[in-house]
């Protein structure tokens, strides 16, 4: 099976020697590593987060950081802390399906604004929020994956980021900036995060709640991520967390902090980036070579995902069983819209993840998929 479905990083090249060194950090301080820890994460881990965010161009202080069990927990905590049944949230369309799932537990009213090649359409956001305001509603937060978005791979342009900050201020909404892929850029210059822009302007975090993850720059198996936000927001999320868990795994934090302290993570990230870049190029090359006219796709400069749009009338979800039977897996576009498989949006789209399959295999996978699309088009 050519796996172009889940956003799985490649963990195969990490290296046993480094793993052994990390494990010895735990053995050296076993009693502490096996103990309960602080809800916000260990001090060392929060310093590590500050170092990673700074490396990404978002210099922050550890005092504004809480460690979570993955960015996914940050999404859930945002829902727990800020949403009540019927509250308005604004999300991108399409968006990360894990966020849709996390928010839906709290019963919000979800509005969507489209994403194009330059990221979230902020004029649409302005219109929606103004319209809602006239009707007496205010959005609690705007959820956005501004860099190498899941699922489209799009990166939000700098002017749009500035404008989004302004709009959020005007409408007194929080911005939930989910940025697990920001450090995985394969070409071009980095665009500042919303968190960095806000801190530059205001001197500290205000309404941007930044969610980070160790899953893509290191390993999803450690289940570690973080929230960077204003102390009041962190406090609200901490309160919401009570009863959910007693804090992130200390064992996991000890191992991860030891690894990041070695400084080796930057070299490893460079290796990962070169690998992903080749895989992306293989997928984009194969799309160009094999897909029939009428099919279009995005060309991301980083991250894991390519978004493929098929001609109207071709049902990507319906086609999936045949695709997997022939040996290629992808995620149907409908997964990334609030209506899901029962809805009307994204039916003729699909997401390919290029992070996991080696170039030769990925190319074969796209060739199989293109063959199937041709059949459905009646070529
Ligand atoms: N947000 C986005 C946009 C993601 O793509 C993912 C992982 N696929 C997550 C959050 C969850 O990340 P984590 O593994 O840190 O929970």
ipTM given for this complex: 0.99
CA distance 320 to 373: 11
| 71 alpha carbon – ligand 1 mean position (Å) | 5
Q: Which residues pair with 110 in a beta bridge?
A: 89
Please give the C-alpha separations between residue 217 and each of 152, 214, 253, in angstroms, as whole numbers.
19, 6, 15
Digit-coded pLDDT (tens) for 127-136: 999 999 999 9
Q: Is the CB of 178 under 6 A from ligand 1?
A: yes
Q: Which atom of ligand 1 is nearest to 145's Cα? A: 3
Q: Which atom of ligand 1 is nearest to 149's Cα? A: 3
Q: Is the CB of 248 under 6 A from ligand 1?
A: no
CA distance 293 to 341: 26
Q: Is the CB of 9 under 6 A from ligand 1?
A: no
Mean pLDDT of the chain: 96
Q: Which atom of ligand 1 is nearest to 224's Cα? A: 15
| 178 alpha carbon – ligand 1 mean position (Å) | 8
| 266 alpha carbon – ligand 1 mean position (Å) | 20
pLDDT of residue 104: 96
pLDDT of residue 243: 86
Q: Is the CB of 92 under 6 A from ligand 1?
A: no
pLDDT of residue 24: 87
Q: Which of 98, 155, 253 most suits a substitution to test ligand 1, by most atoms within 8 Å of the C-beta?
A: 98
**Placement of tokens 């994460």 in the chain:** 41
pLDDT at 379 over 70: no
Q: Which of 72, 79, 148, 183 most suits a substitution to test ligand 1, by most atoms within 8 Å of the C-beta?
A: 72
Residue 281: Cβ-neighbour burial (10 angstroms; 0-12, 13-18, 19+):
middle
**Placement of tokens 């994956």 in the chain:** 145
147 falls in which pLDDT band (50, 70, 90)? very high
Non-local CB neighbours of 154 within 8 Å, separated by 6+ positions: 115, 116, 117, 118, 119, 148, 298, 300, 307
Digit-coded pLDDT (tens) for 21-31: 888 888 877 89
| 294 alpha carbon – ligand 1 mean position (Å) | 31
Closest among 46, 39, 73, 43 to 60, alpha carbons compared: 46
| 97 alpha carbon – ligand 1 mean position (Å) | 10
Structure-token pair, residue 136: 């007496």
Q: Give me the domains of the chain, ranges plus CATH numbers.
A: 16-262 (3.40.640.10), 266-377 (3.90.1150.10)
Q: How many CA atoms lie within 13 A of 237 on its CB side?
A: 28
Q: Which atom of ligand 1 is nearest to 220's Cα? A: 14
pLDDT at 179 over 90: yes
Q: Is the CB of 148 under 6 A from ligand 1?
A: no
pLDDT at 320 over 90: yes
Structure-token pair, residue 146: 């501004």
Phi, psi of 225 (to 5 degrees): -150, -165
Prior bond of 151 cis (ω within 30°): yes
Digit-coded pLDDT (tens) for 192-248: 999 999 999 999 999 999 999 999 999 999 999 999 999 999 999 999 998 889 999
Q: Is the CB of 145 under 6 A from ligand 1?
A: yes
| 72 alpha carbon – ligand 1 mean position (Å) | 6
Tell me the average pLDDT across 75-103: 98
Q: Which atom of ligand 1 is nearest to 304's Cα? A: 5
Q: Is the CB of 213 under 6 A from ligand 1?
A: yes
353 falls in which pLDDT band (50, 70, 90)? very high
Output the residue whose Cα is nearest ligand 1's atom 5. 150
Output the residue whose Cα is nearest ligand 1's atom 8. 7
CA distance 317 to 297: 17
Closest among 93, 83, 82 to 120, alpha carbons compared: 93
């Amino acid at each position: 099976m050519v796996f172009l479905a889940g956003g799985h990083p490649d963990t195969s090249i990490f290296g046993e020697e480094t793993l052994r060194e990390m494990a010895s950090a735990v053995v050296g301080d076993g009693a502490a590593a096996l103990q309960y820890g602080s809800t916000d994460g260990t001090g060392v881990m929060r310093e590590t987060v500050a170092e990673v965010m700074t490396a990404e161009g978002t210099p922050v202080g550890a005092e504004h950081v809480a460690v979570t069990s993955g960015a996914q927990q940050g999404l859930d905590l945002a829902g727990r802390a800020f949403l009540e049944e019927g509250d308005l949230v604004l999300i991108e369309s399409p968006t990360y399906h894990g966020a849709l799932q996390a928010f839906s537990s709290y019963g919000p009213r979800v509005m969507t604004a489209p994403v194009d090649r330059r990221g979230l359409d902020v004029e649409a956001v302005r219109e929606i929020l103004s319209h809602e305001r006239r009707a007496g509603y205010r959005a609690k937060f705007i959820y956005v994956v501004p860099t190498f978005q899941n699922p489209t791979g799009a990166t939000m342009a700098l002017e749009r980021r500035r404008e989004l900050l302004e709009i959020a201020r005007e409408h007194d909404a929080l911005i939930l900036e989910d940025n697990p892929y920001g450090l995985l850029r394969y070409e071009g210059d980095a665009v500042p995060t919303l968190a960095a822009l806000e801190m530059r302007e205001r001197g500290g975090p205000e309404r941007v709640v930044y969610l980070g993850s160790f899953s893509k720059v290191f390993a999803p198996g450690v289940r570690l991520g973080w929230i960077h936000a204003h102390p009041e927001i962190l406090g609200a999320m901490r309160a919401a967390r009570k009863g959910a868990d007693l804090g992130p795994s200390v064992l996991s934090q000890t191992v991860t902090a030891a690894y990041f302290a070695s400084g080796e993570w930057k070299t490893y990230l460079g290796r990962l980036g070169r690998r992903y870049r080749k895989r992306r190029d293989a997928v984009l090359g194969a799309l160009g070579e094999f897909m029939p006219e009428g099919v279009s796709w995005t060309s991301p400069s980083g991250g894991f995902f390519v978004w493929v749009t098929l001609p109207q009338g071709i049902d990507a979800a319906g086609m999936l069983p045949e695709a997997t039977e022939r040996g290629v897996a992808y995620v149907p576009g409908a997964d990334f819209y609030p209506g899901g498989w029962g809805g009307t949006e994204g039916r003729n789209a699909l997401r390919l993840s290029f992070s996991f399959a080696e170039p030769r295999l990925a190319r074969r996978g796209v060739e199989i998929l293109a063959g199937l699309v041709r059949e459905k088009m009646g070529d």
